[in-house]
Structure 1
Amino acid sequence: MTEKPCFAGIKAMLICSLVLLGSLVAPLATSTDQSHSHSLILAPSGASFDYIVTILMENNGFCEVITTCGGGGTYQTSLATTYGLAGTCQSDSSCSIGGYTAVDHPSEGNYVQLIAGDDYGFTNDCGYCPGRTSALNIIDRIEASGRTWDAWYEGGSGSGTCNAQPPRGGDHYAFITFTDIQTNTARCSHLLSTAASSDTAFLAELNSPTPANYIWLTPNDSNNCHSSTMSFCDNYLKTLVPQILGSTLFTTKKAALWIQYDEGNDNYPHDFVYGSWSGPVVKTGYVGTGSYSHYSYLKTLETVWGLSSLTSNDASANPMTEFFGSATTQPISTSFAVSPINPLVNTTVTFTASTASGTSPYSFSWNFGDGATGTGASVTHIYASAQSFTVTENVTDSSTPPQTATSSQTITVKAASGDTFLGLSNSVWLIIIGGIIGLLASLTLLTIRARAKLKHAKRTRNQSGS
């Protein structure tokens, strides 16, 4: 970096002044930025998930979906391989490891079981037959726990009212089967329709500030594979699921996505269907070893959220809790870089976090040491005074339970009023040099006067002697 001429002149004047004074100047020490960073892992706590989104697909056995045994669900296989799949099956009726079985044929009984723990004799598709039973259901338990819910269906009519009518009535949407939902105006406001072509309203909830804890989606008969090919509904999920996993809910909350088929091609307890967990709280690359059924879906909610069971069926079922947890996740660690490393007052300083292990996505918060805070992996800040500040970065991952790491550094912010030399600004040096020059001028004048007096005295003595 080329020095300014005036700055070079100041240094020259200083050097000359010091030589003339004949004194030594002790070097002024400059502060070196010292990094005192460490990582702290806080004890994890809390339920496996606080939010769950459930999507029900239709009428396909395990090996009609999973490609490793002949299925056509390319995306669904990839999703399950990335996150979690319930079992390893060789056919729709045989699994070597675990498996998830449907219970009834046709559809209606399975949907009732999923939210009530029993089919209550509804073993034939009725279509639109609302308010068929006063039995307790999962909504009773969810509301009693203080949690919220919304049940979406594609197309249909009567959204948000007690006249809600999904395309196939209650066959694929059991919420209207229960009188304490279908005749309750407040609860009917949670029976919601979304456009089948885009699911705009459904996705809007996932990106809203206050999504429900329990969110259900019944696709229409084309999107759910009831009346379409596997490739068609697989492409439907390929479009929809990334939007779910990329939503505000799934990138900032402890949320889980459960996708399953209602029934396959065999009979209980060997009617194995596709069941997959995904999302930030789910173990990755995990194959479940437990034996599960529709009652396990209820049991999982009851176990994770501490809800009472509804019937002896869900009470005795296996919960799918093996899919959650951070047992295979390495401890999270974090640090951050500061640029520039010698920041100045009233100039922008950039802090960039570097995080390893744990489970992404991460959330970051910053304390800049001067009362200001920030969020994000990379942040900027401007300091208003020259002094030392302790900057602290906190990061939280998406594992279950979440891990938190902390990193801190002490930085020294220096004065920024012009160029500096030996840690002091030009204005300070000008005052010092001005004083030195004044002192030199005074010494020179005193020297001249002293010499003049000596000469005068000498001449006087000489004249007296002569």
Structure 2
Amino acid sequence: MSDWSISRRRHPVRGHVRTHNRAALALAAALVAAWAFVAGAPTARAAGGVPTPDHTIVVVFENHAYSQVIGSSNAPYINSLKTGGANLGQFYAETHPSQPNYLAMFSGSTQGITDDSCYSPGFSSAPNLASELIAVGATWASYNESLPAQGSTVCSSGQYARKHNPWFAFSNVPTSTAKTFAQFPTNYTTLPKVSFVVPNLCNDMHDCSVHTGDTWLQNNLGAYATWAKTHNSLLVVTFDEDNRLSGNRIATVLYGQQVVAGGSSSTTYNHYNLLRTIEDMYGTSHAGQAGSATDITGIWVP
């Protein structure tokens, strides 16, 4: 009798045990995956360990220093987002006045703009967040309060100011993606992958108070923030610049399902880091100085 036959007689169920073990491991893996799905456990991770939200909204306010917002009784809603989300305590804008900062946060460069004058629309074809998202097949839109009509390139209209809407600077961003805030969807599942929301000159705190802007945020995006917490989505609240009081240190808060509640970071960041982080979330290339910036880390759910 061969050694092989003896081995088979001595261990008649070894093959069955191995088969059973493989089946048990497969079942265990399936149960873990099912639990993650049912519990809403965040699992997606992109480059640099940042998450991949189903939807990201960036809201930009105006001209207030960090200390005028974070910890202020005039901004109870933003501070509630900080408590339930993450606070970037050392976040800085690039320059003064407003307009170059908007271009920086959107394209990784001020594009040579040094003031708030109304430039010719589409003057640049440089890479930017929208053109990069479009290139990888991801959806993009901006929602601009008091914009007279979708795609309008008017410099100003009532409380609307184009200087706060950098997408109009770029010939590679369809003007049709610049929507009015009245077009902001109530069914959040229909939102683009990435959106910017820009309030008008009053509600962005430029002409009106911090409390006015804080109330506007709660009334208009509070429901989205609540939804984002259970639908793998993200809300970013930031500012263009301070009011020349604190070295351009500005408030920036992130809130969503994959953000650690009560999280914070003392790492020095700026608009280029935020741009780089969003680019890496969706696997795009990197525009301008975002290419040498680092991702925002230390605030994401493991």
User: What TM-score, normalized to structure 2?
Assistant: 0.78
Contact 1:157–1:165 (8 Å) recurs in 2: no
The residue aligned with 1:59 is 63
Q: Any residues of structure 2 matched to 1:273-422 within 5 Å, and which?
A: 273-311=250-288, 313-326=289-302
Residues 447-462 of structure 1 mapped to structure 2, 5 A cutoff: none
Which one of the candidate residues 199, 210, 218 is aligned to 2:198? 218
Question: How far apart are residue 150 of structure 1 and its match?
Answer: 0.9
Q: How far off its partner does 1:210 sit?
A: 3.0
Structure whose residues are more often strand by fraction: 1
Mapping 1:2-401, distance limit 5 Å: 40-42=31-33, 44-47=43-46, 48=51, 49-67=53-71, 72-87=74-89, 99-127=90-118, 129-159=120-150, 161=151, 163=153, 167=157, 168-181=160-173, 187-195=174-182, 201-204=183-186, 207-247=187-227, 250=228, 253-266=231-244, 270-311=247-288, 313-326=289-302
Which structure has more RCO (C-alpha within 8 Å, separation ≥ 6)? 2
Deviations 1:307-334 (A, max 9, x none): 22112x21222211322223xxxxxxxx
What are structure 1's unaligned runs of at least 5 residues?
1-37, 88-98, 182-186, 196-200, 327-466
Superposed CA offset, 1:273-324 (max 9, x none): 000000122110111132100101111012222222112x212222113222
Task: State the Cα distance separating 1:77 from its structure 2 match.
Answer: 1.5
Question: Cα deviations across residues 68-97 of structure 1 (Å, max 9, x unaligned)?
Answer: xx563222122112211001xxxxxxxxxx
CA contact (8 A) 1:290 1:318 kept: no
Give the TM-score normalised by structure 1.
Answer: 0.52
2:301 aligned counterpart, secondary structure: coil
CA distance change for structure 1 residues 85 and 208 in 2, over 3 Å: closer, same or farther? closer
SS of 2:143's equivalent?
strand
What is the DSSP-based 3-state SS (H/G/I as helix, E as strand, rest coil) of the residue aligned with 2:205?
Answer: coil
CA RMSD of aligned residues (A): 2.4
Residue identity matched to 1:114: M
Q: Distance in 2 between matches of 1:242 and 1:156?
A: 22
Query: How far off its partner does 1:267 sit?
Result: 8.4
Q: Is the 8 A contact 2:185 2:191 kept in 1?
A: no
Q: Structure 1 residues 216 and 166, CA, compared in 2 at 3 Å: closer, same or farther?
A: farther
Whole-angstrom distance in 2 between the partners of 1:78 and 1:129: 40
Question: Measured at CA, do residues 209 and 60 of structure 1 come closer, stay the same or move farther in structure 2, by a change above 3 Å?
Answer: closer
| 1:165 shift after superposition | 5.9
Measured after TM superposition, the shift of residue 236 of structure 1 is: 1.4
Measured in 2, the distance between the counterparts of 1:251 and 1:275 equals: 18
Name the larger-Rg structure. 1
Alpha-carbon distance between aligned partners in 2 of 1:45 and 1:279, rounded to the nearest angstrom: 14
Inter-CA distance 284–166: structure 2 relative to 1 (3 Å threshold): farther
- Cα distance in 1 between the residues matched to 2:216 and 2:190: 26
Give 1:75's aligned amino acid: Y
Distance 1:290 1:319, change over 3 A: same
Are the equivalent residues in 2 in contact too, given 1:153–1:166 (CA < 8 A)?
no
Distance in 1 separating the partners of 2:116 and 2:94? 15
C-alpha distance in 2 between matches for 1:300 and 1:46: 12
Kindly indicate which of the two structures has a greater share of residues assigned to helix.
2
Higher alpha-carbon deviation: 211-220 or 74-83: 74-83
Aligned to 1:368: none
SS of the counterpart of 1:103? coil
* In structure 1, distance between residues paired with 2:113 and 2:84: 36
Contact 1:266 1:272 in 2 (8 A): no
Q: 1:74 to 1:251 in 2, by over 3 A?
A: closer
Letter in 1 for 2:220: L
Change (3 A) 1:190 1:165: farther
The one-letter code matched in structure 2 to 1:153 is N
8 Å CA contact 2:118–2:155 kept in 1: the answer is no
How has the CA–CA distance of structure 1 residues 130 and 254 changed in structure 2, closer, same or farther, with 3 Å as cutoff?
Answer: same
Note closer, same or farther for the CA distance 1:261–1:251 as it changes in structure 2 (3 Å cut): closer
> 1:341-365: per-residue Cα shift (whole Å, max 9, x none)?
xxxxxxxxxxxxxxxxxxxxxxxxx
